């Protein structure tokens, strides 16, 4: 039995977990900084790093306590090495390094995206490889063909905003606070008139995504601006003058936005999984916590589907422990000279052409 203490601090959650054999989380503690960043409407990197510094050791202690695990029962320490906010990564990774050094344990650098995907190994069933992974978070929207642990082929990704970023920006337009995904989704559920349609960027012939046009369409809709121009794009002549169309209620806009995102993500992921003859389809990342997206993918997937429970979709350390278990043979000596940023690069996905 291999017990790994894992630490995650790449963005705005300070997290620690104890994971057994990469399959079972004995504990998973997440200290969220949401309230702190809600005041600024987004993450301020220096504020995040300082908060990680405050929260980290109490979170680690709590993870060990809940797992009923002493230092002597641990086999390795793991931490996210990238990608993420440099200042935030440094705090978690160097804390892991110090703890590993003090306890004579090996240290494992984990890629954050691989961590998200690995959350799918924390359930009862094990996904079959090759798997198609749709990673949708605040910073990423990626379609990855996973051929083995740490072996990913990137088939497509967003050309502009990440899916979670689009949720956050639209939520901001609707004055819903930060992070925007959960309140936007809750508002969408209250929509009574569900007839509004917003654009979908299919990017046919490509496995890429684009959400910036949708975001602009929401902006126009919310401001009540007609999107139809004259033949050369100039505003249409208005005689007699008419009032601009009234903006639909925010709930209807939220509903139409969520429909558009869930429709594109689910249809493309299901289609590519089938085309690539994937053994399973894996959802991962914060946006995979979205109920409407989960529902749409369930309707459309033609290969076995895995979606972690919502608390393992958003940033957590259990997923880092799950990924670390697959890279025990790449553990480093914490006492060796280590440059966090070159380690972060080493920790990034080993993509094959």
Q: Is 290 in the site for ligand KG4 (CB under 6 A)?
A: yes
Q: Which residues contact 14 (CB under 8 A, 6 or more apart)?
A: 8, 30, 31, 33, 51, 52, 55, 56, 59, 92
Tell me the number of residues near Zn ion by CB under 5 A: 2
Smallest gap from Cβ 213 to ligand KG4, in A, equals 19
Q: Is 182 in the site for ligand KG4 (CB under 6 A)?
A: yes
Two tokens, residue 345: 């690069």
User: Smallest Cα–Cα separation from 84: which of 136, 49, 57?
Assistant: 49
Applying CB under 6 A, the span of 17-25, 133-141, 146-154, 216-224 interacting with ligand KG4 comes to 133-141
Cis peptide preceding 7, ω within 30 of 0: no
Instruction: Classify residue 346 by burial, with Cβ atoms within 10 Å: 0-12, 13-18, 19+.
Output: middle
Q: Which of 137, 185, 260, 280 touches Zn ion by CB under 5 A?
A: 137
Question: Of 47 and 328, which has the nearer Cβ to ligand KG4?
Answer: 47
Q: Is 347 in the site for ligand KG4 (CB under 6 A)?
A: no
Residues in the chain: 353
180: partner contacted, choices ligand KG4, Zn ion, none (Cβ within 5-8 A by kind): ligand KG4
Smallest gap from Cβ 87 to ligand KG4, in A, equals 16
The arrangement of strands across the sheet holding 3-8 comes to: 24-32, 13-20, 3-8, 76-82, 107-111
Q: Is 82 in the site for ligand KG4 (CB under 6 A)?
A: no
In order, the DSSP letters of 154-197 are EEEEBSSS-HHHHHHHHHHHTT--SS-HHHHHHHHTT-S-----
Helix 163-173 crosses helix 250-275 at what angle (to 10 degrees)? 170
What letter would DSSP give residue 71? G
Letters for 302-331 (x = contact with Zn ion by CB under 5 A, - = none) are: -------------x----------------
Applying CB under 5 A, the span of 130-138, 155-163, 217-225, 234-242 interacting with Zn ion comes to 130-138
Question: Of 106 and 164, which has the nearer Cβ to ligand KG4?
Answer: 164
Q: Give the interface with Zn ion as residue ranges (CB under 5 A).
A: 137, 315
Q: Which residues bind ligand KG4 (CB under 6 A)?
A: 11, 137-139, 164, 167-168, 179-182, 185, 285-287, 289-290, 314-315
């Amino acid at each position: 039995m291999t017990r790994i203490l894992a630490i995650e601090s790449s963005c705005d959650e300070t997290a620690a977990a104890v994971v057994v054999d990469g399959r079972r989380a004995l504990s998973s503690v997440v200290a969220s900084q949401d309230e702190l960043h809600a005041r600024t409407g987004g993450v301020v990197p220096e504020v995040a790093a300082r908060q990680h510094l405050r929260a980290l050791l109490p979170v680690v202690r709590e993870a060990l306590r809940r797992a009923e695990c002493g230092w002597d029962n641990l086999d390795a320490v793991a931490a996210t090495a990238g990608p993420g906010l440099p200042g935030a990564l440094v705090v978690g990774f160097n804390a892991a390094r110090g703890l590993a050094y003090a306890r004579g344990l090996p240290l494992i650098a984990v890629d954050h995206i691989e961590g998200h995907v690995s959350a799918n190994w924390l359930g009862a069933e094990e996904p079959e490889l090759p798997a198609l992974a749709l990673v949708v978070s605040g910073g990423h929207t990626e379609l990855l063909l996973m051929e083995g642990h740490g072996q990913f082929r990137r088939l497509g990704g967003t050309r502009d905003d990440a899916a979670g970023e689009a949720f956050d920006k639209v939520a901001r337009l609707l004055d819903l606070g930060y992070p925007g995904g959960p309140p936007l989704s809750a508002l969408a559920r209250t929509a009574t008139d569900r007839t509004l349609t917003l654009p979908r960027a299919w990017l046919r012939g490509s496995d890429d995504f684009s959400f910036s046009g949708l975001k602009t369409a929401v902006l126009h809709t919310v401001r009540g601006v007609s999107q139809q121009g004259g033949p050369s794009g100039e505003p249409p002549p208005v005689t007699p003058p008419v009032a601009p169309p009234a903006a639909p209620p925010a709930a209807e806009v939220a509903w139409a936005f969520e429909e558009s995102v869930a429709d594109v993500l689910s249809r493309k992921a299901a289609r590519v999984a089938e085309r690539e003859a994937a053994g399973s389809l894996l959802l991962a990342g914060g946006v995979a916590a979205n109920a409407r997206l989960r529902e749409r993918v369930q309707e459309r997937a033609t290969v076995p589907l895995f979606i972690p429970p919502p608390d393992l979709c958003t940033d957590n350390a259990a997923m880092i422990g799950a990924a670390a278990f697959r890279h025990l043979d790449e553990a480093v000596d914490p006492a060796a000279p280590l440059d966090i940023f070159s380690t972060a690069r080493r920790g990034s996905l080993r993509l094959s052409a």
